[in-house]
Every structure is written in C-alpha cells, then in structure tokens.
Amino acid sequence: MYFVSPTKGKLSFEEMMEDIIKYIKGLPNSSYKIIIGSDSQVKKETVYITAVIVHRLGKGAKYYYRKRTERKVKSLRQKIFFETSLSLEVGGLVTRYLSQIGHIDEQVEIHIDVGKQGETKELIKEVVGMVTGSGFQAKIKPEAYGASSVADKHSK
C-alpha cells in the first residue's frame, strides 16, 4: 500500500506517517486535525481515492492520497459503503500508528461523501453510525471537504 504526496511523490504508509509527524512537530503549539475521506468515480471500472489530510488549524494543510481500482459498481449504496470502509481502514491504521508513538491526542475525523441533499441522504444514518461506532468523528457534506474536495479532485 502506498500513498501519493503532491510534493513528495509515492510514499509508503510509514513514510507518509513520518512526514505527518514531522509536519506536526514543525509547529508543535498549533492545533491539528487529521482528516480521512474517500470518493470514487465510476467509468469502465470504479476508481476509489482515499485522502489523508493534516490540517494545521488556521495555518494550512497538507495531504496524501491512495488510489484503488475495483470492478464497476452500479449501486450507489454499495459505492458509498465501500468508500466509507476504505476511510475507516486507513483511519484505523493512522490511529494505531499515532497511538504507538504517543500521539494519542490527535483528532481524527472521517469525512463521508453523503449529504442532506440528493440521493445519498437515505444513507446518512447508516454510514455515520459505521464511523462513530468505530470511534471516529464523522462529518457529512458540506463539512466533508476531505471526501468532497480533496479525494474528489484525484478520482476524476
């Protein structure tokens, strides 16, 4: 599994996490939020992008993303559930890594590509329940910029 940094190129998960820690230590008195969100694009196949964003609150952010291609998915419900499970998978890895090095107080949010407008509104309760039941804070559109902006940008 590798992630892509727009500035550093391909990184292993460990290299990405080391870069995140370096970023946090760069301004240790700042507040940080780690955001994970996924989006997908269906063409001949379904391309899933999972983004990991480190937001230095009020002072910018940096991000990384992972691309995964699967067979074409026709069901919106299946696509949203798979996007959410990809975010939870990466969220679990990030949280485990942070706790192993003593950074247990970093906030991790999962941004879900659903909102109160449109077809996905029927899925909100279920996917938010998946995320909160896994111990993460859940955000939906319009606050889910990790999924609807960053991941979306690379899924096209």
pLDDT at 36: 98
Confidence at 93, pLDDT banded by 50, 70, 90:
very high
Q: Is the pLDDT of residue 153 over 90?
A: no
Q: Is the pLDDT of residue 8 over 80?
A: yes
How confident is the model over 96-138, as pLDDT tens digits?
A: 999 999 877 778 999 999 999 989 999 999 999 999 999 999 9
* 122 SS3 class: helix
DSSP state letter for 91: H
Closest CA to 152 of 41, 36, 5, 1: 41
pLDDT at 56: 94
Rounded to the nearest integer, the mean pLDDT of the chain is 94
Please report, for residues 68, 69, 110, 132, the alpha-carbon distance to residue 51 in angstroms, rounded to integers and kept in the order given: 12, 15, 10, 19
pLDDT at 1: 81
Query: Which residues partner with 5 through β-bridges?
Result: 9
Six-digit token string for 118: 């449109």
Separation CA 2–CA 109 (nearest Å): 21
Q: Is the pLDDT of residue 95 over 90?
A: yes
CA angle at residue 49 from 40 to 138, to 5 degrees?
85
